[in-house]
Amino acid sequence: MRTVKRVLAAALGITMLAALGACGGTRSTRGTGSSEAMEKGGTIGISMPTKSEERWNKDGNNLKAKLEKAGYKVVLSFADDKPAQQNADIENMVNKGAKIVVVASKDGTAVGPAVEKAKDAGAKVIAYDRLIMNTKAVDYYATFQLEQTGVLEANWLIDQLGLKSGAKGPYNVELFSGSPDDNNAKFFFKGAWELLQPYFQSGVLVSPSQHGGGVSKDFKVADWQKISVQSWKTEQAQKDMESILDSTYAHGEKLDAVLSPYDGISQGVINAIQSKRPDMRPNSDNWPKITGQDAMEIAVSNISKGLQGETVFKDVNKLADAVYDMILEIAQGKNVSGLNGKFNNNSVDVPSKLLEPQGITQKNLADLVKAKYLTQERFDQLTK
């Protein structure tokens, strides 16, 4: 009997250890990001940085509509450009039982604690268009080829100024970068600066103002925040451009081009030129070449009028589709497909899905209708 008891005790001990090992393995697996199927009709959180900019309204509502049509509950919030508000929004989503949280961060570093709480609660975290920095609590990232945006802007300026054809200039160019708290802004500038810097080196391009301490051949990608526009605001860009015009272009000096990374900044530049230099006329030789990004409605109108020369179209419908597919795969417990890159956020290499942007000018402005980004009726209102 003693022998039988010992055997039974040993068997029971092994069974308990196996059970404990299985429980421990399950916790470990969740922490490393493998997917478990989610209930149909479960809750998904979408946190956008602001409602004051056209594109974030489109992004958030496009994704919400698709997910609700698929039968999921969606908590959509807009953070009013306030990192603290976004953190509170994300925590609220977790409290409502969100198992997947999609975050387009206002401040990629400040949002870290909130997504860590989401991760600890068992949610999957997807960084939407803007990478969340300095945390391991990011499972996936979806965005566009970031540097390619700057490449498209710079190449358009290079073509417009005839630099590849041997034009000697010197051409006066002023440069802006995006918000200093947006990690994407660095990559936009990097893509552009790597193409433009050789022309500064040769003296074909010059930036005569002291904007940001001065941009010269020795300016580095790491200096991008010196010429940044806080929160991408039109009003700040206008103020900065008015200062540039007052200090450097107040007596008829020629301004040949402006590198702007975003249509809202471009609008600020246009406002400043129209205020300070009414002698500059669109569609004439004395109007500068101006770039942009996001194909905002104001940019469509400006391009049709010759006020802005180019924008980079990032089809947010395609981005919403890509994230939608990602969410469905996670919800169904499948491996995420279509990943074609990785971005390091200073803590981990985040598996990424990267889409191609497109340069838009007067010549192909109607492509926005073909992409169903704008209706023909709205396009006609903006351009006619």
Same domain (yes/no): 151, 248:
yes
12 pLDDT exceeds 50? Answer: no
- Structural domain that includes position 168: 146-314+363-369+375-383
Same domain (yes/no): 77, 131:
yes
Residue 2 lies in a domain: no
Per DSSP bridges, beta strands 341-344 and 349-355 are antiparallel
25 pLDDT exceeds 50? Answer: no
Same domain (yes/no): 101, 201:
no
Residue 119 lies in a domain: yes
Q: Name the domain count of the chain.
A: 2
pLDDT, residue 276, reads 97
**Which residues on neighbouring strands pair with residue 173, listed in sequence order?**
257
7 pLDDT exceeds 50? Answer: no
| DSSP string covering 179-223 | -TT-HHHHHHHHHHHHHHHHHHHHTSEE--S-GGG---TT--GGG
The lowest-confidence range among 6-10, 22-26, 296-300, 353-357 is 22-26
Rounded-to-integer distance, Cα 380 and Cα 144, Å: 28
Q: Is 371 exposed, middle or buried (0-12, 13-18, 19+ CB in 10 A)?
A: middle
Q: What is the strand order of the sheet 205-206 is part of?
A: 205-206, 171-175, 257-259, 289-290
Nearest CA to 216 among 174, 166, 168, 260?
174
Show the tokens assigned to 93.
Answer: 């989503």
pLDDT-derived band at 38, boundaries 50, 70, 90: confident
Neighbours of 372 (CB within 10 A): 9
Distances (CA, A) of 50 to 160, 223, 280, 333, 378: 34, 27, 34, 31, 23
30 pLDDT exceeds 80? Answer: no
Residue 181 lies in a domain: yes
Same domain (yes/no): 196, 159:
yes
Domain CATH number, residue 291: 3.40.50.2300
Same domain (yes/no): 321, 290:
no
Q: Read off the pLDDT of residues 324-366 as tens digits, 9 standing for 90 and up.
A: 999 999 999 999 999 999 999 999 999 999 999 999 999 999 9
Same domain (yes/no): 296, 222:
yes
Looking at the chain, the whole-number percentage of residues with pLDDT higher than 90 is 86
Q: What is the pTM of this model?
A: 0.84
pLDDT, residue 373, reads 93
The lowest-confidence range among 4-13, 80-89, 175-184 is 4-13
pLDDT-derived band at 41, boundaries 50, 70, 90: confident
179 pLDDT exceeds 90? Answer: yes
Show the tokens assigned to 225.
Answer: 């925040």
Same domain (yes/no): 168, 124:
no
Same domain (yes/no): 94, 172:
no
Residue 345 lies in a domain: yes
Same domain (yes/no): 251, 128:
no
Phi-psi region of 97 (alpha: psi -120 to 50; beta: other; left: phi over 0): left
20 pLDDT exceeds 60? Answer: no
Mean pLDDT across 53-61: 90
Show the tokens assigned to 247.
Answer: 């200090």
